[in-house]
Amino acid sequence: MKIALLVEYDGTEFSGWQVQENGRSVQGDLERAFQQLFGVAVAVHGAGRTDAGVHARGMVAHVEFPEGSEMTLNKLTIALNATTPYDIVIHDARAVPDDFHARHSALSRTYRYTVKRERVAIERNFVWAIRRKVDAEKIEQVTAMILGEHDFTSFSKRTNDVDHYRCKIEYAAWQFEGTRYEFTIRANRFVRGMVRALVGAIVQVGQGMLSVDDFEGLLLRPREFARAKYIAPAHGLVLEGIAYPEHFGLWVPFANEGIT
């Protein structure tokens, strides 16, 4: 039986989602938990590969449930939470059809990046603290440019496991509340470092360190030499949720938040 897991984690102490030769990973900790519970190796397949320091509130993963196990899904969730470290939480486990794949079945992914214009202590691992003021009008102007399908070569890190850097942005918006700025973005796919590179460049525009025309040029005329030139710190980024076709019966990101 194939099982989908809804996973939350604090990425501060992880080298990323994917198993690393050197360094702790979310995938590795989950696979060790299954090994401890069932005494057999269980591969955990995630919907994406978050980088070191990036957090997730709505990561989805799938596993092939060990044959012969009589553990219910509710008990599995409890058992995993009793076995995984403090910075990983399994919120739910659901049976899915054999053709489900956490990564390949996804329709879209939603990320949220938080910036705060003041020095912080308690939130230091979850927000990018900046000092200079930003021009909200300019930020919203360039954010509107990224909607639709574009080649995000200039806003990504080089990687060998993708064929192209075209992504379709379905939603992108900033919310300004005092000194707190939250950027929410949803797309059919993201390439490595893309959200952080976009946030870094957009904030540079807002601070007057990058012109609107230069930003537009990076977007419309992708430049190999300009890859991820303005990348924001990892710790401000959270994978909020992943959308799948309804027939899989999985979780709906932002169902009650008005993000359409």
Q: How far apart are CA 41 and CA 43, in angstroms?
A: 7
Angle, helices 194-206/136-145, rounded to nearest 10 degrees: 140
51 is a catalytic site residue: yes
Output the CA–CA distances (angstroms, integers) from residue 246 to 1, 8, 93, 133, 136, in the order listed.
19, 22, 16, 42, 36
3-state secondary structure of 89: strand
Active-site residue among 51, 87, 151, 214?
A: 51
Query: Using an 8 Å Cβ cutoff, are 116 and 180 in contact?
Result: yes
Our measurement of the distance from residue 133's CA atom to the centroid of its chain's CA atoms, rounded to an integer in Å, reads 26
Active-site amino acid positions: 51
